[in-house]
Structures are given as C-alpha cells and as structure tokens.
Amino acid sequence: MMNEGKLSIPFFPDTEDICQSTKQLTNMICHTEDYKCYQKDLAVLKAQEELYHKFKEFRGKSLHLQLEREQEQYFERMESLHSEYKDVLTEPVVVDFLSAEQRMCKLMRIVYDGIAEDIKLDLSYMDEV
C-alpha cells in the first residue's frame, strides 16, 4: 500500500551497505556469550606463557601434519603427536579454551553456511578435485 504523495523506491544494496551490515553482524557475534567466553579463556591460557607456548607448538605441528595428509602413516603420526603433548592437552585451561573455541567455530560455521546456502555460486569445478 502506497502512502499518499510518497513513492516507494526499491532498496538495492551496494558494497557500502553490505560492509555496514557486516559490521553489525560482527558486533552481534562479539557480544555473544560464546565469544566472551572464548576471549576470557584465551586470556587465561596466554597468561600461562610456558603452557601457551607449548600449546601453540602443538597446534603448529598438528597443522603441518594435516596439510601433508597425503603422507603415509598420517594417523599414527597424529596419534604420536597427541601422546607427546598429552600433558598440555589435558590441562584444564587448555581444555576450557578448546571447548570455547569449538563453540565459536560452530557459530561461525552456522553464519558461513547461512550465507553459502542463499548465495548461489557455481562451484561445480571443485567436484573434479
């Protein structure tokens, strides 16, 4: 229904509108309990410098193994890495941080999936890889 004397002009968002909406979404995410918990747990972990250093070392080695996944004995090497860093990975501070990080990753996945579901891009070329 049109108001008398006013034209209804359709809204066509531009890049600036999308940037502003992205900032609003980011702000919303930063105010979630999951994000606040993640930041708190990260700060607690970083406060224990030696533990944080060992944890980062583990993550670097783990990432390196994951990127070279074609290599033989991947699972054995990953299991060995976990055994080597068992004392780090079982620290309550690390367990709490990993739990908070997992919740944040789940939230981000929901956001990414929601965007990808409605924006139709032709990614069929990836099926060949």
Q: What is the pLDDT of residues 81-106, one digit of tens each?
A: 999 999 999 999 999 999 999 999 99
- Six-digit token pair at 14? 């531009």
Predicted local distance difference test score (pLDDT) of residue 4: 61
Burial of 129 (0-12, 13-18, 19+ CB in 10 A): exposed
pLDDT tens track for 46-76: 999 999 999 999 999 999 998 986 778 888 9
pLDDT mean over 32-49: 98
Q: What pLDDT was estimated at residue 72?
A: 80
Query: What are 89-97's contacts with CB under 8 Å, separation 24+?
Result: 89/58, 91/51, 93/41, 93/44, 93/45, 93/48, 93/51, 94/45, 94/51, 94/55, 96/41, 96/44, 97/38, 97/41, 97/42, 97/44, 97/45
